[in-house]
A = this chain, B = another copy of it.
Amino acid sequence: MAAANPTSSPEQDLPTWAEIAELVAKLDAGTFADVDLQMPGFRLRMSTTPDAFTEQAPAARPRASAEPPVPTAAPAPAAAPVPTDAPEPTATATPRPHSATLSSDLVEITAPILGTFYSKPSPDVEPFVEVGSTVAADTTVAIVEVMKLMNPVSANTSGRVVEVVASDGDLVEFGQVLFRVAPDVAPDEVTR
């Protein structure tokens, strides 16, 4: 039994082409500038005005672009390959191009590893840093706990903390933003 029937199936309640053509002829003979007819599975729009129904142009070609999808929270790719024999986590503090419009001069301190974020060494004490704190590259700013192992996070930049992004007990993935820091102005940047 023929499975694929190339011509349009008669089992739908939709108008036939002949009926549509008849309707179109009627409308065309009339005085209407615009017609918009919608039914489930069917829509007819006509206009005497060019561009009356401009819609988003469909993609010219179905093939995917060569660009990979933009990751939701990826750090900027490092230019140099990271040595594979460096298992010790080190915090990354990188200017993040994609947030440039929001806070062009801020530096982000990101999680060096997946784990649980803690802003203080123990529950009863003060946080390592707060908004307004000044940090140097080797300042410990937080702890990321992985399987009961406490990994101190160093600022790896110097400046003033302007935002604490993560909260105590948060699961943070690698690369997730923990703090934003207004960096010290480097001497060669003064002249900008």
Contacts and interface: CB of A to CB of B under 8 A. Distances in A.
Interface of A: 1-4, 6-15, 17-56, 58-61, 63, 65-66, 69-70, 79-85
Q: Is the interface of A mostly helix, strand, loop or mixed?
A: loop
A43 B59 contact: yes
Contacts of A59: 38, 43
5 contacts: A3-B13, A14-B39, A21-B81, A24-B26, A36-B53
A44 B20 CA distance: 12
B58 A69 contact: yes
Number of copies: 2
Contact of A25 (B14, B26, B63): B26
B53 A50 contact: no
A25 B79 CA distance: 11
Given A4-B12, A51-B52, A36 B45 contact: yes
B65 A55 contact: yes
A69 B61 CA distance: 10
A12 B26 CA distance: 26
Given A39-B42, A50-B47, A84-B17, A30 B28 contact: yes
A53 to B, nearest CB: 5
Contact of A49 (B14, B18, B33): B33
